[in-house]
Structure 1
Amino acid sequence: MEIDCTRDDGRANDPVGPAQLPPGTRLLHIGPHKTGTTSIQGALFAAQDRLPAHGVEFPGHTRHPMEAALAAVARPGMMGDAVPNERHWTTLVRQVREAGDRTAVVSSEFFADAEEDEAIARIVGQLGGDRVHVLVTLRPLAKIMPSQWQQYVQNGLRMGYGDWLEHMLRKAPYEQPNPSFWRRHRHDRLVARWARAVGTERITLVVVDDRDRGGLMRTFEALLGLPANLLQPVPDTANRSLTLAETEMLRNLNREFRGNGLPDELYSRLVRNGAVMHMKNSCSPAPQDVKISTPRWAAEAAAGIAAEMIDAITRTGVRVVGDPALLSTVPEPAGEPPQEPRIAPEVAAQALYGALAAAAEVPVRHSTPAKSRTVHQTSSAELVKVLGHRCLRRLRRH
């Protein structure tokens, strides 16, 4: 689960934390992934109507402008999803310009996928040029790796965690099976790419501290000049991380899916947005559920890389909020996971039910279209009723 916390200790030469950005700034939060992005996006979106009173706009009609960011960096969407087009990006640009003299905030971790200087310069130029200030949020690399692996599994990855770590940390050029990982999480290179477009003086790096819940909200409030506690975490079960057993179930399903040559669109509808989404929303991990555990050798290797990265970043002179030493910490081992993680029957049932409900494409009637629900937000009784009627109609046709 993405974390919504930093300890905003500030730098040694900035003990009071970050100063407010100038009015009219375009604050571009580029993530990367698994560093509190979903939490801050949810808090900003929930406060969207109250922000203008304080000179701030959060453009857009959704929590996360993912399609716009993907179009801007010329990357495909999730497996089986429709490919974002330029219209998504130009719409976001227009909404940012409509903020006028107010400060505008744009947040998407997919901006971290921008690899070419030309693409980054275009993004900065169209969002406001000299008015753009880039914000990077970072967590310890050793904590990012298990979260990213299970996220890749949710997008079709079939490789186990141990093998994946071997490829990412021991098998040069460290690009398979997920070349996007180091593009996002070689953080020194990420900062350098964006510094070439905006300069180091217009980049702020925030170190996320998992011990200080709510700290990331307070940092954003300080940067934007918002009243304390205006930004509040918004519960989001759909964004929780999978347990080891849930991830292994999905990984084995991915192997069967690929092995039988089924279309990617079916994976998007039935698996990711059906089975997985319903399972996340219906089942909360229990204390006895085993989390994904990183072996000691990999945690130490990740910490070593993180130390190199933060040393390179601090030498650039970018402003760092928080304690950089946290980024190279080695997490305490969580204990040995069982050899064969077992998924609870009720969790498997919810996943299967989510796939069936998505296959039925259940329509939900509402007084206003804007309040339409997705399948996983619909009650089981309603889904079963509609699915049963559909099956009866089809049987009668035959």
Structure 2
Amino acid sequence: MARRAFLHVGTAKSGTTYLHDLWWQHRETLRHRGLLLPGAVMRDHFVAAAVVKGMDALVSRLDEEQLRTWDRLLERSGEWSDDVLISHEHFSDSPPEAAAGALDRLAAVADEVHVVLTVRDLGRVLPSAWQQRVKQGARQPFGRFLGSARRGDGEQKFWRYQDVPAILDRWTVGLPDERVHLVTVPPSGAPRDELWRRAGTVLGVEVTGLDTVPRLPNDSIGIVEAELLRRVNDRFPRERRSLDVTRYRKGAFTRDVLAGSAPAEPFVLPARHHDWVRERAEAMVATLGERSYDVVGDLDDLLPAAPRAGRTPDEADDAELLDAATVVLDRLGVAPPEALDDALELIAAELLARTVPDPEPSGR
């Protein structure tokens, strides 16, 4: 039986990819230091989260062995006598009954169950979340996404992953506050490995001296590239959208073809949205401050920084979009047309043509 089972349930866009990379990169070292990541590969934790929360579109594709992934992680945890870590951001928006069931099952294989939540300030999360959605096929312009998030209409999914008090309400039933760990993502300018060290503090494992250079490629894109992809998404026929297309679009296509097709230009939160984002963040910090959770970092890390000068994806013009599209098509070995609309159609066609069905579900 495990001594402590740590379930890291999110949040999305809070450095989870970075942490997963390092945890699995150093998996054997961490095991020797008393922390087990059960499962054969990182994807097992994604599949387990999908099973727990009931991601029907993916679960319906799983074979009998894959459907037992969560069971196998629990079985392996129960065989371990020290600490265990299971982690994926998709746990965060599980329904209350699914969260309660998962905690009960963990309690059957560990003396103590701990829930860990990493959290990043909304000023950085909103642009990052929109970019991620575009990689997954979203067609909503950045400005409309921000307006919808502000009003709460149609953006329930965003808040299911980012309403931190509500996530904790679902995932802490029956747990004492000292077993609920809130890890704040450091503000911009902090040492790169600060989040890694904060997470290590929660898990009670020594992580200093381990390589903190991530091995997974950074698939971040700039505003022109993101807006180009959003417009390509508009050209996709609804009946051709699939998990396989999504996997290729947000993976190999973004990483190997789209990234670097335009000058690097970071995302910024428009100044006109700063006040409501700040108010929402302050309310969240106030709520969390009234609770007795174990906070590693500082709740003030969750307050957005002052607005920065810069453009938004909505301000990318057709000329620079066509320039980026020309680079993309050249990388695909396709002669680019002179008109942007034609280029968008060609890129969409190439995305479909190059999609290869995935024999196994992937969480990356």
Provide the rounded CA distance (Å) in 1 between the counterparts of 2:232 and 2:351.
18
- 1:245 maps onto 2:230 in alignment: no
Per the alignment, residue 188 of structure 1 pairs with 165
SS of residue in 2 equivalent to 1:28 = strand
**Contact between 1:120 and 1:197, CA under 8 Å: does it hold in 2?**
no
- 1:111 maps onto 2:91 in alignment: yes
Per the alignment, residue 19 of structure 1 pairs with none
SS of residue in 2 equivalent to 1:90 = helix
- 1:292 maps onto 2:267 in alignment: yes
Per the alignment, residue 102 of structure 2 pairs with 123
Per the alignment, residue 156 of structure 1 pairs with 137
**Contact between 2:19 and 2:196, CA under 8 Å: does it hold in 1?**
yes
Q: Which one is further off, 88-97 or 185-194?
A: 88-97
Q: CA 1:175–1:266 in 2, change beyond 3 Å: closer, same or farther?
A: same
Q: CA 1:331–1:143 in 2, change beyond 3 Å: closer, same or farther?
A: farther
Provide the rounded CA distance (Å) in 2 between the counterparts of 1:30 and 1:277.
26
Provide the rounded CA distance (Å) in 1 between the counterparts of 2:54 and 2:102.
11
- 1:325 maps onto 2:325 in alignment: no
Residue 89 of structure 1: CA displacement? 2.0
Per the alignment, residue 313 of structure 1 pairs with 288
**Contact between 1:32 and 1:112, CA under 8 Å: does it hold in 2?**
yes
Q: CA 1:339–1:232 in 2, change beyond 3 Å: closer, same or farther?
A: closer
Provide the rounded CA distance (Å) in 2 between the counterparts of 1:52 and 1:295.
44
- 1:233 maps onto 2:213 in alignment: yes
SS of residue in 2 equivalent to 1:132 = strand
In the TM superposition, 1:309-388 aligns within 5 A as 309-337=284-312, 338-340=315-317, 341-342=320-321, 344=324, 345-350=326-331, 359=353
In the TM superposition, 1:202-241 aligns within 5 A as 202-209=179-186, 210=188, 211-222=190-201, 223-230=203-210, 232-237=212-217, 239-241=218-220
Provide the rounded CA distance (Å) in 2 between the counterparts of 1:81 and 1:157.
22
Per the alignment, residue 70 of structure 1 pairs with 50
**Contact between 1:136 and 1:204, CA under 8 Å: does it hold in 2?**
yes
Residue 72 of structure 1: CA displacement? 0.5
Q: CA 1:224–1:246 in 2, change beyond 3 Å: closer, same or farther?
A: same
Provide the rounded CA distance (Å) in 1 between the counterparts of 2:106 and 2:260.
39
Q: Which residue, 125, 146, 150 being the options, matches 2:127?
A: 146
**Contact between 1:303 and 1:327, CA under 8 Å: does it hold in 2?**
no
Q: CA 1:360–1:155 in 2, change beyond 3 Å: closer, same or farther?
A: closer
Q: CA 1:270–1:143 in 2, change beyond 3 Å: closer, same or farther?
A: closer
Identity %: 25
Residue 139 of structure 1: CA displacement? 1.0
Per the alignment, residue 68 of structure 2 pairs with 87
Unaligned 5+ segments in structure 2 are 335-346, 357-361
Residue 36 of structure 1: CA displacement? 0.9
Residue 51 of structure 1: CA displacement? 1.8
**Contact between 1:274 and 1:357, CA under 8 Å: does it hold in 2?**
no
TM norm structure 2: 0.80
Residue 229 of structure 1: CA displacement? 2.6
SS of residue in 2 equivalent to 1:50 = helix
**Contact between 1:300 and 1:330, CA under 8 Å: does it hold in 2?**
no
Residue 182 of structure 1: CA displacement? 0.5
Provide the rounded CA distance (Å) in 2 between the counterparts of 1:27 and 1:147.
26
Q: Which amino acid aligns with 2:256?
A: H
In the TM superposition, 1:164-203 aligns within 5 A as 164-170=145-151, 174-176=152-154, 178-203=155-180
